[in-house]
Structure 1
Amino acid sequence: MFDAHLRPLIDPPLNAIGRWLTRWGISANAVTLAGLIPALAAAAAIAHGQYLVGLALILVNRLLDGLDGAVARASGLTDFGGYLDTLADYAFYVAVPVAFGLASTANTVPALLLVASFTLTCASFLVFAAIAARRGEETSAHGTKSIFYSTGLAEGGETIAAFVAMCLWPAQFPVIAIGFAALCLLTVIQRSLLARGTFTKRNEAE
Structure 2
Amino acid sequence: MLDARLRPLIDPPLNAMGRTLARAGVSANWLTFCGLAIGLAGAAAIASGHFGWGLALALANRVLDGLDGAVARASQPTDLGGYFDIVADFAFYVSVPVAFGILDPANLLPALVLAASFVLTGTSFLAFAVIAAKRGEETEAHGRKSFFYSTGLAEGTETVVIFALMALVPAWFVPLAWGYAALCVLTVIQRSALAWITFR
Is 2:57 aligned against 1:57? yes
Is the partner of 2:136 in helix, strand or coil?
coil
Q: Which residue of 2 aligns with 1:203?
A: none
Residue identity opposite 2:165 in structure 1: A
Is the partner of 1:49 in helix, strand or coil?
coil
Alignment length (residue pairs): 200
Alpha-carbon separation, structure 1, partners of 2:172 and 2:5 = 28
Q: CA RMSD in A?
A: 0.5
Alpha-carbon separation, structure 2, partners of 1:57 and 1:126 = 26
Residue identity opposite 1:187 in structure 2: T
Alpha-carbon separation, structure 2, partners of 1:97 and 1:122 = 15
Alpha-carbon separation, structure 2, partners of 1:125 and 1:69 = 18
Is the partner of 2:94 in helix, strand or coil?
helix
Could you tell me how far 1:76 is from its partner in structure 2?
A: 1.8
Residue identity opposite 1:107 in structure 2: N
Q: Which residue of 2 aligns with 1:106?
A: 106
| 4+ residue runs over 6 A deviation | none
Is the partner of 1:76 in helix, strand or coil?
coil
Alpha-carbon separation, structure 1, partners of 2:28 and 2:178 = 34
Output one character per residue of 1:121-170: Cα deviation in whole Å (capped at 9) or x when no partner: 01000000000000001000000000100000000000000000000010
Could you tell me how far 1:40 is from its partner in structure 2?
A: 1.1
Alpha-carbon separation, structure 1, partners of 2:113 and 2:37 = 25
Alignment of 1:108-123 (within 5 A): 108-123=108-123
Q: Which residue of 1 aligns with 2:6?
A: 6
Residue identity opposite 1:173 in structure 2: F
Structure 1 residues not aligned, in runs of 5+:
201-206
Alpha-carbon separation, structure 1, partners of 2:168 and 2:38 = 18
Alignment of 1:136-147 (within 5 A): 136-147=136-147
Alpha-carbon separation, structure 2, partners of 1:25 and 1:33 = 16
Q: Which residue of 2 aligns with 1:76?
A: 76
Is the partner of 1:145 in helix, strand or coil?
coil
Alpha-carbon separation, structure 2, partners of 1:24 and 1:174 = 44
Structure 2 residues not aligned, in runs of 5+:
none
Alpha-carbon separation, structure 2, partners of 1:26 and 1:157 = 26
Alpha-carbon separation, structure 2, partners of 1:169 and 1:103 = 14
Alpha-carbon separation, structure 2, partners of 1:62 and 1:150 = 19
Output one character per residue of 1:103-125: Cα deviation in whole Å (capped at 9) or x when no partner: 00110000000011101101000
Could you tell me how far 1:9 is from its partner in structure 2?
A: 0.1
Is the partner of 2:84 in helix, strand or coil?
helix
